[in-house]
């Protein structure tokens, strides 16, 4: 049975949660938050990560929100589509945050930390929505995050998500890009591969160190 304290030990009390948002533009306080996806991870007894559950919701644009036509063309979201089933912002945040809070408790962590590709963008839109809704129980650290742009640049020399995924051997479908679920799940795979490979390198290095320092008999 996996040791549920491993996450807390590995990431200093933080639970990494991969997040991707789709928006009506680039300014978090002015443009609409339209979709949120979050991917929860689990860790096995060897410290290896894998994605286990995706949470996703469409979000109603807040009153007075701006929708940039170029951004809407890229994400393909039609805010007024009758089948969109969007939630008001406060309800959408609670829908996403509730299972994350539960996972934080179950894994013995203090709070979640957002993982994203250009993570400051996603965290900025979440924080703006949290402020608008007066949300007092966000599970996320308000400013710390793990950015797979930096991690992929270190591991593969690539910072664009599609190229980083290809370098990591992960399939990429450009036709599904700019869906919060698709981008979050691919980012989760990328994060797990990088962390797991580092874990393997550390294990091998420790074994070599033990061999070198072991006294001769």
Query: Which of these is catalytic: 31, 53, 141, 178?
Result: 178
Sheet with 14-23: list strands edge to edge. 49-58, 33-43, 14-23, 111-116, 140-147
Instruction: Give the C-alpha separation, 65 to 60, whole Å.
Output: 10
Find, among 30, 84, 39, the residue nearest to 59 by Cα. Answer: 84
Compute the distance between CA of residue 77 and CA of residue 34 in angstroms, rounded to an integer.
Answer: 8
Catalytic (active site) residue 178: yes
Cβ atoms within 10 Å of 80's Cβ, excluding its own:
7
How would DSSP label each residue in 9-78?
A: HHTTTEEEEEEEEEESSS-TTTBPEEEEEEEEEEE-TTS-EEEEEEEEEEBPPPTT-B--HHHHHHH---
Distances (CA, A) of 210 to 10, 29, 110, 214: 21, 53, 33, 6
* Cα distance between residue 67 and residue 77, in whole Å: 11
In whole angstroms, what is the distance from residue 161 CA to residue 183 CA?
A: 9
Give the residue numbers marked as catalytic: 178
């Amino acid at each position: 049975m996996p040791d549920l304290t491993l996450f807390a030990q590995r990431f200093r009390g933080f639970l990494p949660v991969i997040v991707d948002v789709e928006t009506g533009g680039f300014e978090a306080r002015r443009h609409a938050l339209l979709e949120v996806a979050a991917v929860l991870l689990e860790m096995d007894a060897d410290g290896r990560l894998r994605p286990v559950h995706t949470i996703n919701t469409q979000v109603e644009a807040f009153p007075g929100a701006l929708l940039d036509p170029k951004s809407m063309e890229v994400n393909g979201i039609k805010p007024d589509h009758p089948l969109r089933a969007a939630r008001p912002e406060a309800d959408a945040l609670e829908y996403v945050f509730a299972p994350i809070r539960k996972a934080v408790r179950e894994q013995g962590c203090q709070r979640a930390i957002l993982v994203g590709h250009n993570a400051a963008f996603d965290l900025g839109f979440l924080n703006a929505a949290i402020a608008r809704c007066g949300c007092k129980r966000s599970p996320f650290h308000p400013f710390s995050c793990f950015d797979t742009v930096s991690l992929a640049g270190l591991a593969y020399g690539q910072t664009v998500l599609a190229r980083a995924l290809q370098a990591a051997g992960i399939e990429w479908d450009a036709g599904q890009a700019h869906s919060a679920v698709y981008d979050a799940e691919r980012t989760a795979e990328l994060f797990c591969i990088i962390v797991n490979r580092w874990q393997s390198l550390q294990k091998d290095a420790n074994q070599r160190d033990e061999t070198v320092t072991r006294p001769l008999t």
